[in-house]
Each structure stands twice: as C-alpha cells, then as structure tokens.
Structure 1
Amino acid sequence: MSEDVESKPCNFHEMELDDRILKAIAKLGWQTPTVIQEKCIPLLLEGKDVLVRARTGSGKTAAFLIPVIQKILNIKQAAEQQEIKALILAPSKELCNQICGVIKDLTIKCSREIRYVDISLQVDLSIQKPLLVEKPDIVVGTPGRTLQHLKSGNLNLKKSLELLVIDEADLVFSFGYESEMKELITYLPKIYQAILASATLSEDVKSLKNLVLHNPVTLKLEEPELAPASQLTHYHLNAEEMDKATILYALLKLHLIRGKTIIFVNSVDKCYKIKLYLEQFAIRTCVLNSELPATIRCHAVNQFNQGIYDIIVASDEKSLEEPSGEGGKDKPKKTKRRKDKESGVSRGIDFQHVANIINFDFPLDVQAYIHRAGRTARGNNQGSVLSFISMKEVSLRDKVEEKLKQGQEDISVFKSYQFKLEEVESFRYRAKDAWRAVTRIAVREARLKEIKLEIMNCQKLKSYFEDNPTDLEVLRHDKALHTVRIQQHLKDVPEYIVPQTLKSLADITRTRKRKREWRRNDGATSKFQMKKTNPLLSMQFEGFKKKKKRS
C-alpha cells in the first residue's frame, strides 16, 4: 500500500533526535537534511515500514541510519540485556564497508552505547563468531554471508530483531540472492520494522517489498535518475581503440582533466591493460575489480576518498555478465577465473568528490551508464562524463540518449567533445608502442603480482601502521607493477610534440625561468582567450572550475 506523504520542511534539530546524533551530524558538516532524509526520518521514527526510492547520491544511507541509531538509543534506555536490534543487508562487500563507515561517523559521540559489526568479509565463520557472541546492536552483511551465520547458529534474531534494512534493494536479486533472501526471512521474527532503499522500483524490488514489508509507505521522489545538466555534463568522442588510448594519454599527461577520475572498462583484463599502459608514461593509477580480495577493494576506495590518489581504473563486470538490454538473453561466457559475486564498483559505492568519469569502454546497457555516471555530481558537486565511442558502440549510446531525453526530443544529452586528434598526432607513435607492449602475458603477470602485493594489506598490520604512519606508503594501490618494460624517456612529454595552443597551459617539465621567458615573448594570449579558441580545453576548464568550487 502506498500513501501520499506531505510534511513541512524541517531541520535535523526539529526531528527529535538525540543530542549525540546531532553533534555527529554537525561534525560531518551536514547543515540541512536532503529531501529524502527530511521525508524518511520522521516516518521511520514513527515505526512505519518504508520503501525509499531516490537516485544515487541523494543521501539514502543516512536517511535510514539516523533513525536506526535513534531507535536503538531509545530501546537501550529500558533494556535489561545486550541484544542485536538491527540487521542491515547490502548486495556487495564494498557497500557493507561503506555503511559501517557512515555508522561510525554517526555514532562518534555514542560509540560506547552503539556497537556494530560487518560480517560481509569472506573469512572463516569461526573468526567472526566471537564478534556475534557479544551481540552487537547492529549487524551489517550481505544476504549470503548473513544466512551462513544464521544456519551455523552464530546469529539468532528470532527474539531480538526489531529493524531490518535492505540497501540497494534493486540489486539484491541481480546479485543472485533471491533464494538466500527467501530462506533468510524464515530466521526472522514475525514482527519487525523494515526499510527498503533503492535507486529504482524494479520488479525485483516489488518482489522484495511483498516479502519483507507490511503496509508500507512508499517514498518516491519525482526526480531524474541523474543530476541535471547544470550539474552533470555528458560528453562523447568518436574513437576506435587505438585512438582511445592516444586520447587518454594526451588528456591525462597534458592535465586537460583535473580532479579525481574513474576510468571504466568492461573486463578485468582491460582494467590491467589500461594500468600497465599508463604506467609507462609515469601516470599512477590503481585498479578495482572483482578478483581482488574484498578488504583490498574497500581499502582502495577509502584511500581514493581520502585523496591519496586521483585515478581509479574500474572494471564494471556486472553489466558485462548481466546486461539488461536486448542482449540480456545471452548467457555470460564461462571463465575459470575466480570472481567475487559480492563485488560491485559502478553502483552503490560512495566515491567522494569525483570530478570526471571516463567510459573507455561504453557500458552495455542504459542502467549501467546511469550507475557509472552516478559516481560523479553527487550532492551539490559538479561532474563530467566523457565516453569514448567506437563504431560498434554507437547504437548503445543512442539507447542511452533516448532514455535520458525522457521524451524531450528538442534536447541533446551528449555534447560532442571537440578534440582534434591531428593536433596530438605526435603522441600517437608513443601511445601505439606502449599499447602494443602490454601483451596478454604481461596482463596475466600483472594480475598475479597485484594480488601478491596486496597480501600486505591485512588487518593484522593496522596497529603497526597507526604507530608508523610514514610506512603506510607500502600499502599504496597505485604503485607500478613493472610487468612491462619501462622506457624512461616516456615519462616526460617533450615540448616539441605539445600542440601550440596548449603550451601555455599544459604542465610540461620546464624550468621556471624558461616558463617566464616564454610568457614574456610568446605567451601574450591570456588563458581566457585560449579557452575560446582552443578545441581541446572544454573539459579541462570544466574540471578546473569544479575543483575551485569544491575548495
């Protein structure tokens, strides 16, 4: 059942929240609630079941965590013993880790009263059993992992559970958790308050709604799935694979793209190929894919959010294996490689302050594009999406544009990124040699080496690095893998191959003295005049403005 909810706007301090929660919110710098938080928090505090539909980046996580923490604090005032009161389910380990991060921030002033545990990591059940024996107030996990603990007797929720939250509900079944969810419900009490949070209201969400919700209130914000054009700009650039590699090299090496960037590809192999390719030009990147251990994936995302590095190459394998478009009937290719089905990169994870998304491989369906683009322009931040389009990907782009137009035929979603490839033709021979140097054997060796290096990133070393923070450098995820021969001359860009229009703006290795001389003699044209005449700078200046606004 759905109800039409109307309520006057209110601030956090008007929601009857505990002072400790309000102090934590103030410390996070949240001045006013988002629309979904304003409508959702009062309903959950009243004890109603709620189905929340709002686009990514709208503040859904805090919308359900704030009332969950408040209700647990209320219960504890009269509680005689410690019990598990809330179960939060999410489809991926990265999302579970992120939810725990938000819980930590919101309970910083009441950490002694509110205890939580993340059981999503794939370790032996006996290792996590002592954590559950202590009966934390909140348990966070994937449906599959939670069911394992329920079956083994490590987790007993029949008598104590009062709150059930399912985040990214529209992904739960697509991650293969349908049977687990139906069985998991049998281990829960008959009466509990439930919250479903989702970016879409798909058929899977409706099935989950019937499974766990009782007479719910449905909150559906009337908003587009992506940020508006004033906040998010979509570019496209027609290029085949070798041209894509050349353009990517030029954009990054000439600093035409500023700020944090995620480069999306469609396979793990391509993920490492891009890393090894850029490595030859001394462009540092880290990789994210389903073959890396969950701890490493979460650690990489956290370091990226902290600003330790600026470029991630991510493989969006979910859209490759389970396309929801017309090709969705095709069966995924079988592979011997072990992938983590509880991994997700393009959806759900809160990458913070991402300025640019680059689709090196165009996504295979509309939803995958929306989820990738949703990694940027979050909150009130600006963002750009640049998609490289090969001939065989043109039809995919057209489907995305048709969807995003939403019947408005007079608008154009994708702006043409005016990049004159002939101006960086001198980059091509370097790019071609570097691209060909990344062979299948080099990629395979890089995959093995990356996993071996990441063995160092274990929780056992956490206390050591707290005492020796400078040694944390060994845990950087963007270090060179060196499975391809590095040619030192590729590290720098010689001045003679830089386009004349960019020489005043590209960050090339000149001495300050030579820079000053050049500006006196030849650099009379201002940067603002350059912006109007130079076809390569549309995205560079966008990124520069965004960075300035955020600071």
Structure 2
Amino acid sequence: MNLFQEMGLPGPLVKKLAQMGITEPTPIQERAIPFALDGDDVMGLAQTGTGKTAAFGLPLLAQLMEVRGKPAPKSVRSLILAPTRELAGQIRDTLVPLVKDTPIKVGLVVGGASINAQIKRLERGTDVLVATPGRLLDLLDRRALNLDATQFLVLDEADQMLDLGFIHALRKIAGLLPDERQTMLFSATMPKQMEEIAASYLTHPKRVQVSPPGKAADKITQAVHFIAKSEKPNLLIELLDGHRDELALVFGRTKHGSDKLAKRLEAAGFAVAAIHGNKSQGQRDRALKAFRAGEVRVLVATDVAARGLDIPDVKHVYNFDLPNVAENYVHRIGRTARAGRDGAAVAFCAPDEMGELKDIQKVMGISIPVASGRPWADLPDPNAKPKGRGGPRRGKGGGAQPGKSQGGPRRRHRSGPRKKAA
C-alpha cells in the first residue's frame, strides 16, 4: 500500500496514478489531501512546481466519484478558477487522464476561444469546470450556466488573481455560490488582501504550508549581471549561444518589448517564439506546444507565463527585465528546476532597476551572486532638490562597457507607479 492509498483515495484513482508513474505524493499533496478528503476547507501555501494541482484535484475527483447521476443541464458540480488561460488549460490537461473511463466530465472555459462553442458544451451540465474569472462572468451574464448546485470551489494561484485585478470578479462569483460548499485556496504568497479573501471564502480552513514565501527551488543556480540597458540584447545572445540545444525562457516586462526582443533573437539565428496578453489564444497555444516539443528553443514571455506552466525541460530562465513585483521573480525562476531537475536563473540589472533588485533580494532573504559588473550606485531621490555642479555624482555601474564615457543626460528615477504589463 502506498501513501496515496493510506490517505484514503479510491483504488481506481490510485491505479491511474501508478499507471502515470506517480506513487509518492509531494509534501503539499501529503498534507492537503487528507484534510480535503475529510471535507475541510483548505488554504495551501506552496510555490509553483510543488504539485498543487493534484493536491486539490485528487480529493475533488475522489469525492465526485461518490456522486451518483449526471449533473443537471447548465449546472456545475465543482468550479476551479485560475488567473490565466494557460494555467486553466494545464489544470484541465492534468485532470482529464485521471477521469478516463469514468462518467466525470472536465470542462474548460477561457477567453480567446469561441464563447458559442463553450455555451453549447455547458448545456449538458459539467462535473468539473476549469475557468478564468472573466470568461466565467461572461457566460453567467448570458445565463449559459448556473452555480446553484456547485459543491466545490477551488481558487488556484489566488495571489496572482489579485495581482491581475480579479478581486471584484471573485466577489461577484462567490455571491452566486451556495453557502454550503467546500472551498480550497492555493497560493504562492500571502499578501494582506489574501487574508481578507480567505476569511470571506473559507470556513475554519486547515492551513498547510510546505515552503516559506519567497523561497526558490534549491536546485536553481542564480546569478545577476549589472549591465546597461542598451547592452542587454547582446549579452542575452552571447549567453543563449552557449546552450542552443537547451530550452530557455526569457522574461520581458512589456508586450511590445517582448515582440521586439523575439525578432532580435530570430535575426541572430535562434528558434524563438513570444507569448503575451496581445497574442490570441491560438497563437499562445501553438507557441507553448512548439516550445514543449523543442521545435522552439527560446520562448520570450511577459508575466502571463510566470505562473503554473509546467514545462519540465526548461533549463534556463532569463530575467531580461526585472519584474515590478518582487514576488514575481520567484514565480518566474520557478519555471526551471522542475520535478527535481537542475536549472539556472540569470537576471539582467540596468541602472534604473536597482530598486527592483533590492526588493527581490529582500523577499528572498539572499544576495544573488554577481556574474559580471558591479552594483550600480543608488539613483538620486526624485523628490530631492537638485545639487550643484560640484555635488556628488552617481557612480558608474559595472555593467557599462569598460573605458567608455558615462556622459550625456542622467537618467532620472521614474516617479509614480510603473505601468503594469500583461
């Protein structure tokens, strides 16, 4: 008898896991599944890549296997909400093999796909519906489904749903659900607003945490290059050239910048694709499929790809632009070193990104080893009165080209919040 059996999962489910080569639960699964099987609300805190989908998916399916009869037309027995189309699709793909040869049907509704086709499929009723909040609300507004009989609710990557501005959508959806239900919330971080969400959605939840927020996988080797912004593309090409046969994920901050960088890499001879919020769902799916298959070796992405995507063979993650939100750095580099593999995470830091780097190191509780250059001097306070010509000047950063002048107009700290990219 393995641990999955000891937890109380039904035999057919344990057998399917064994056929997939899964015989031992991960720490988050081992701690969360027994509580969920007992019907308790669960709040799980763990980084991406720790097996959270199975931690909520297995007990959910186990309980649905005990439900007799088909779901009523347009009804949903269990609802799983995810922040992005890619993560929602991945959750669906994880659950489908587990319900093979059972009456349980898993549905998917996300933006970027035909809403009429989704409405048609929902007419028959759904056992497990995986959805993004925006598309779910569109379907609810069209009365294509109802949540009156929903017994289970799962919020996956809940902190990212808050980051993406889904708080009002979540509140509206929650108001349509029965009070008597089981709710599971999984998140990589626990910001203050998350505590409020948990208090609203969960009833006396069992809290399970397997790694502290901000902690990256142990097998990720990290490094930072201090480099002028204009020199970043050249350094990236040089580093990528050293491992052309390995998969590399490159994170940019903006949609336009990611497209521009992808074209630059393509001109340098790399098999490259880009994904971001302006790409259609078909374009994003094709890019990810080609990347997983190794047909594309370099994938340039905004933070839309930072959460939940499980691409086991990613060996390198490059933070071409540092993220505005420090926690997103942890999620980005979590795309490598999956399932016990080794991985490398390299960050590029321009002069105006020193604040972001300091925030990242504070969240992680470490100093990222320096690969080249030296830390840029602190930028002046934008609110401070300008100094005279004789006042101290900003020191030169180690990422600049040796021997070249640092003259020209000085960069000023951008005031106000930075624009958030999808």
Query: Structures share a fold, TM > 0.5?
Result: yes
Instruction: Give the match for residue 438 of structure 1.
Output: none
Name which of 276, 279, 299 aligns with 2:263.
276
2:371 is aligned with 1:417: yes
Helix, strand or coil: the match of 2:57?
Answer: helix
Residues 293/218 of structure 1: CA separation in 2 closer, same or farther (3 Å cut): same
**Residue 376 of structure 1: CA displacement?**
1.4
Counterpart check, 1:291 vs 2:278: yes
Deviation at 1:123, TM superposition (A): 4.4
- Do the aligned partners of 1:226 and 1:374 also contact (CA within 8 Å) in 2? no
Look up the match of 2:223. 235
Question: Quick one: structure 1 residues 179 and 95, their matched pair in 2 at CA, closer, same or farther if it must change by over 3 Å?
Answer: same
Shift, 1:379, TM fit: 2.9
Larger Rg computed on CA atoms: 1
Counterpart pick for 2:137 among 123, 147, 172: 147
Partner of 2:18: 26
Tell me the equivalent position of 1:337: none
Deviations 1:272-310 (A, max 9, x none): 222221222221100011100123223322332233322
1:129 corresponds to which residue? 119
Report the CA distance shift for 1:27/1:121 in structure 2 as closer, same or farther (over 3 A).
farther
Asked whether the 8 Å contact 2:41–2:183 carries over to 1, the reply is yes
**Structure 2: which amino acid aligns with 1:148?**
D
C-alpha contact (below 8 Å) 2:76/2:145 kept by paired residues: no
Aligned pair count reads: 372
Q: Which residue among 172, 175, 181 is the counterpart of 1:183? A: 172
Deviation at 1:89, TM superposition (A): 0.8
For residue 50 of structure 1, report the CA deviation from its aligned partner. Answer: 0.8
CA contact (8 A) 1:226 1:373 kept: no
Match of 1:45 in 2: 37
Match of 1:14 among 6, 9, 23: 6
Q: In proportion to residue count, which structure has more strand?
A: 2
> Sequence identity of aligned pairs in percent?
28
In 2, Cα distance between equivalents of 1:228 and 1:168: 18
| Structure richer in helix, relative to its length | 1
Compute the displacement of 1:388 (Å). Answer: 1.6
Secondary structure in 1 aligned to 2:271?
coil
Change (3 A) 1:94 1:256: closer
Superposed CA offset, 1:195-246 (max 9, x none): 11111122232222122211211112244533354x1111111221343222
Measure the CA separation in 2 of the matches of 1:402 and 1:193: 36
Q: Which residue of 1 aligns with 2:200?
A: 211
How many angstroms does 1:348 deviate by?
Answer: 2.6
On the 8 A contact 2:76/2:125 being kept in 1, the answer is yes
1:200 paired with 2:154, answer no
Deviations 1:497-530 (A, max 9, x none): xxxxxxxxxxxxxxxxxxxxxxxxxxxxxxxxxx
**How far apart are 1:258 and its partner, in Å?**
5.5
Counterpart of 1:252 in structure 2: which amino acid? L
The partner residue of 2:339 within 363, 379, 382 is: 379
Quote the residue 1:162 is aligned against: 151
Structure 2 residue aligned with 1:396, among 336, 356, 359? 356
Runs of 5+ in structure 1 lacking a partner? 1-8, 317-343, 406-411, 420-424, 426-551
2:234 aligned partner: 246
**Matched residue type, 1:272:** D
- Cα offset, 1:418, TM superposition: 5.2
- SS in structure 2 opposite 1:417? strand
1:360-390 alpha-carbon deviations (Å, 9 max, x no partner): 1222231121121121123311111111222
One-letter amino acid of the counterpart of residue 338, structure 2: R
Q: Secondary structure at the match of 1:173?
A: helix
- Partner of 2:82 in structure 1? 90
Q: What secondary structure, in the 3-state scheme, does the structure 1 residue paired with 2:61 have?
A: helix
Distance in 2 between the 1:60 and 1:353 partners?
19
Q: Tell me if structure 2 keeps the 8 A contact 1:170–1:205.
A: yes
Paired residues of 1:355 and 1:383 also in contact (CA < 8 A): yes
